[in-house]
């Protein structure tokens, strides 16, 4: 039987959607509205710790938050959303990927579908490249690193082959790429000690950035510090370089240069979720949903968009960046606007104060720009861990992560595989419209 309470449907249970649902629970009485949250996973990825999960310094399960424990009175559906009619506010979804398509209509529709990795049509990238956007990606990357160590350890057919097996190329010198390069180097150096025919210096990490500096969102002194620290540890940083082709054992660069590497990790930007690209909703030139100041989608009635999939602007007219920090606050503020609308009160513009950014570089060092203050070295790394530990939902999970980090200082993890390959991740993604891999 159809509920007579207004129904609010939230598509996507990431930072934006999950926090919106939880805020609505706190603001609305059980008889006031029905809140339904849909996501293909019954957890959301705590992205700031995903790189650590993908490079072995954190158990993958500790970098996700269970949606069923995060929300309480919200009805959660683990479902693949396959189509959205924004005019009729009707969602078509499939339970557990292969069920029959089902429809759900609502009074308020919240689009919080996030983004995907931006994967340009570079020859060989779809076939050989890795990305880090989901928990499966993180586990597959860690498994790949261990697999390459195993192969290199057993390799007897010459130094060249061995060298390319344990050469990892990270593309993109922004936050994710820099963290992946830094953490991966630590992981490889530690793990290599367990492989008798390898010495830690056999493992190489190269970071490619097409601009003239890494971490362009931070001040120049912090970029320079990060570059110096990473280079000091043997990470090759090549600026002004672009990838032309990826082969099994080789990366070909624009201008003819070559790198003998078997693993390429693509961290160069995000693109709109494919589902968002197909919506009947106004989008900007990159394909993100354009919203009014109160986060309602332009030209649509009672349809709202938040997080990475939306363009929401602050009072100064500038679009908020695609970060967890902004997605979470948009989710909370949108919940208040929906409640205002239900109570026939005027909605308010979205106002977020940017707190800054922190990047971990591995080896207990980092860089941070917090409330305009620049910090580098151990303090920045410590801040990274403290801030994200405190931000992680759930006391139990916080304790587990803190304990794991502490134990890891003395007893590093064994390099064992969990059994997920890049091909399996890719095949899984092909079943749902989740990937940004170019056709």
Ligand X SMILES: Cc1cc2nc3c(=O)[nH]c(=O)nc-3n(C[C@H](O)[C@H](O)[C@H](O)COP(=O)(O)OP(=O)(O)OC[C@H]3O[C@@H](n4cnc5c(N)ncnc54)[C@H](O)[C@@H]3O)c2cc1C
Q: What tokens were used for 159?
A: 């130094």
* Cβ atoms 172, 209 nearer than 8 A: yes
Choice between 48 and 173, CB closer to ligand X: 48
Exposure string over 58-95, b if 16+ CB within 10 A, otherwise e: bebebbbbebeebbeebebbbbbbeebebeebebebbe
Helix axes 324-342, 15-27, angle to 10 degrees: 40
Q: Which of 269, 249, 41 is CA-nearest to residue 157?
A: 249
**Nearest to ligand X of 309, 333 (CB atom):** 309
Tokens encoding 402: 């803190």
When binding is defined by CB under 6 A, the residue of 55, 273, 333, 337 that contacts ligand X is 273
The DSSP bridge partners found for residue 243 are 253
Least Cβ distance, residue 196 to ligand X (angstroms): 33
Question: Per CB under 6 A, which of residues 150..179 are in contact with ligand X?
Answer: 176
The interface with ligand X within residues 89-128 (CB under 6 A) comprises 112-114
Strands 263-266 and 167-171, sheet pairing:
parallel
How many positions of this chain bind ligand X (CB under 6 A)? 35
Per CB under 6 A, does 80 bind ligand X? Answer: yes
How far apart (Å, rounded) are the C-alpha atoms in residues 206 and 209?
Answer: 10
- The least CB distance from residue 230 to ligand X, in Å, is 17
Question: What residue is closest to ligand X based on CB?
Answer: 14
SS3 47: helix
Other beta carbons less than 10 A from residue 429's beta carbon: 19
Q: How far apart are CA 296 and CA 331, in angstroms?
A: 12
User: In angstroms, rounded to a whole number, what is the distance separating the alpha carbons of residues 246 and 252?
Assistant: 6
Contact residue for ligand X among 126, 322, 387, 402 (CB under 6 A): 322
| Of 53 and 152, CB closest to ligand X | 53
Residue with structure tokens 């079943």?
Answer: 431
Instruction: For residue 217, state whether it binds ligand X (rule: CB under 6 A).
Output: no
The stretch near ligand X (CB under 6 A) out of 21-29, 44-52, 69-77, 229-237 is 44-52
What is the smallest separation between the CB atom of 292 and ligand X, expressed in angstroms?
A: 18
Under the binding rule (CB under 6 A), the answer on residue 35 touching ligand X is no
Nearer to ligand X, 275 or 392 (CB): 275
Tell me: does residue 296 bind ligand X (CB under 6 A). no
Q: Which stretch binds ligand X (CB under 6 A): 32-40, 95-103, 286-294, 398-406?
A: 32-40
Does position 329 interact with ligand X (CB under 6 A)? The reply is no
Closer residue to ligand X, CB minimum distance, 250 or 385: 385
Site for ligand X in 361-390 (CB under 6 A): none
Contact 237, 173 (CB under 8 A): yes
Measured from the CB atom, is 163 or 273 closer to ligand X?
273
What tokens does 20 get?
């919106």
For the purposes of burial, counting CB atoms within 10 Å of the CB of 165, is it exposed (0-12), middle (13-18) or buried (19 or more)?
buried
Applying CB under 6 A, the span of 1-9, 39-47, 96-104, 139-147 interacting with ligand X comes to 39-47
Binding site for ligand X (CB under 6 A): 12-17, 38-41, 44, 47-48, 50-51, 80-81, 112-114, 132-133, 176, 273, 275, 307-309, 322-325, 327, 433-434
């Amino acid at each position: 039987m159809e509920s007579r309470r207004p129904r609010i449907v939230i598509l996507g249970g990431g930072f934006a959607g999950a926090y919106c649902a939880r805020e609505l629970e706190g603001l609305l009485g059980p008889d006031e509205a029905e809140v339904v949250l849909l996501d293909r996973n019954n957890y959301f990825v705590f992205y700031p710790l995903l790189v650590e999960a993908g490079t072995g310094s954190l158990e993958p399960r500790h970098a996700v938050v269970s949606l069923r424990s995060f929300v309480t009175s919200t009805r959660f559906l683990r479902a693949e959303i396959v189509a959205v009619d924004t005019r009729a506010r009707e969602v078509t979804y499939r339970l557990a990927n292969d069920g029959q398509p089902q429809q759900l209509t609502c009074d308020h529709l919240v689009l919080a579908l996030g983004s995907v990795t931006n994967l340009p049509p570079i020859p060989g990238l779809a076939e050989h490249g890795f990305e880090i956007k989901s928990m499966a990606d993180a586990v597959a990357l860690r498994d790949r690193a261990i697999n390459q160590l195993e192969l290199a350890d057993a390799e007897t057919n010459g130094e060249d082959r061995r060298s390319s097996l344990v050469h990892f190329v990270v593309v993109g010198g922004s936050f994710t790429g820099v963290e992946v390069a830094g953490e991966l180097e630590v992981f490889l150096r530690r793990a290599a000690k367990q492989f008798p025919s390898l010495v830690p210096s056999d493992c190489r990490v190269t970071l490619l950035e097409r601009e003239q500096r890494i971490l362009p969102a931070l001040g120049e002194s912090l970029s320079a510090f990060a570059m110096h620290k990473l280079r000091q540890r043997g990470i090759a940083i090549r600026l002004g370089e672009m990838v032309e082709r990826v082969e099994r054992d080789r990366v070909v660069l624009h201008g003819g240069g070559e790198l003998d590497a078997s693993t390429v990790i693509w961290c160069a930007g995000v693109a709109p979720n494919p589902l968002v690209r197909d919506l009947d909703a106004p989008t900007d030139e990159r394909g993100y949903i354009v919203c009014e100041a109160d986060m309602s989608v332009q030209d649509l009635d009672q349809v709202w968009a938040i997080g990475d999939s939306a363009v929401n602007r602050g009072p100064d007219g500038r679009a908020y960046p695609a970060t967890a920090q902004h997605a979470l606050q948009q989710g909370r503020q949108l919940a208040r606007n929906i409640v205002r609308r239900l109570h026939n009160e005027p909605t308010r513009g979205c106002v977020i104060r940017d707190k800054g950014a922190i990047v971990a570089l591995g080896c207990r060092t980092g860089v941070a720009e917090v409330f305009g203050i620049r910090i580098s070295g151990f303090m920045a790394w410590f801040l990274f861990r403290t801030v994200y530990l405190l931000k992680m939902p759930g006391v139990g999970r916080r304790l587990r992560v803190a304990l794991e980090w502490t134990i890891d200082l003395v007893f590093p993890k064994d390099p064992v595989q969990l059994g997920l390959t890049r091909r399996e991740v890719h095949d899984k993604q092909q079943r749902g419209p989740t990937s940004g891999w170019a056709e």
